[in-house]
A and B are shown apart, each in its own frame.
Chain A
């Protein structure tokens, strides 16, 4: 009868069971009691979160939200470009400093290594811009300040 109530019987078996129920009051009572039992379990009012529990969840998710959608994307978008710019500035500053000390002249440096330096700079900018955001994402903690159970 449990299988019948749960709808686990094949069509033929369910039909046979129904035919039996039509003439057996005891089995009808059994089916009714299983139906009532399932209905009682399902219809018990759902436990609602208290205001405190809702607020605690909202606070936890707010931290999560800020961390994911505001800080990290900004870092991802601009960090590669900023770092590449700093690197390029450092190279130029070094050459200018060496010239001012009389060690090299800018003209001779540009003439000698200009094409190669230009190509290297382009490659470096592309490389840093592509891989730095991944590194930032990997370092990002999943939930800043949250503790998990279990």
Chain B
């Protein structure tokens, strides 16, 4: 079962195959939670969105058509929920970094490696700086970057998810990368 493609699995889900659902859940629950959390910085809402995305996908399994990949279709559902959440709260200006720091939600996700505590601390600071910079990007640029580099979609797939032309998506990604590099440039010591 686990060697089947997403598209084959969702077809089985349409027939009520429970084990096919389980495989898709194991593949996407964490990724959807991560996707929502990188946008919203709010664990409870993000978990809610991840769950709703999967439930809606299974509910609509019978209507899935292979014009888009399952992954694109799934992230379209998730992206719309995230966008709706932004509208609902009118982007409560709560920075992603402050949420992560306050709740320590990403802290337990440290990889189990043999780095020293100092290296781990430096890595954590670098990570916080990175996501602070991502959080400061315009909303569409941030989504394009997350979909491109964390989710791994190509421009055409992102254009389907975000409902924007591919060329526009490409320019968002370019702009965002330049902005991120600029804001993460090390400050020169003048002492």
Interface positions of A (Cβ within 8 A of B): 2-3, 5-6, 8, 33-34, 37-38, 40-42, 44-50, 53-54, 56-58, 60-61, 64-65, 68-69, 73, 142-143, 146, 148-150
Contacts and interface: CB of A to CB of B under 8 A. Distances in A.
Contact of A41 (B109, B150, B174): B150
Nearest to B127: A44
A47 B36 CA distance: 10
Given A33-B181, A34-B181, A61 B52 contact: no
B162 interface: no
Interface in B1-59: 16, 18, 21, 25, 29-31, 33-34, 37, 47-52, 54-56, 58-59
Nearest to B88: A150
A47 B81 contact: no
- Do most interface residues of chain A lie in helix, strand or loop, or is the interface mixed? helix
B136 interface: no
Nearest to A30: B181
Interface string B70-104: 00000000001100110010000000000000000
A37 B180 contact: yes
A60 B25 CA distance: 12
A40 to B, nearest CB: 6
Interface size on B, as a range, is 35 or more
Contact of A47 (B30, B56, B146): B30
Nearest to B47: A53
B51 A60 contact: yes
Contacts of B184: 37
B56 A6 contact: no
18 contacts: A6-B173, A41-B130, A41-B134, A45-B110, A46-B31, A47-B105, A49-B29, A49-B50, A53-B33, A57-B55, A60-B51, A61-B25, A61-B54, A64-B55, A64-B58, A69-B18, A148-B55, A150-B52
Contacts of B33: 47-49, 53
A64 B84 CA distance: 24
Nearest to A58: B25
B191 interface: no
Nearest to B55: A60
B145 interface: yes
A47 B59 contact: no
Given A44-B127, A150-B84, A150-B85, A54 B29 contact: yes
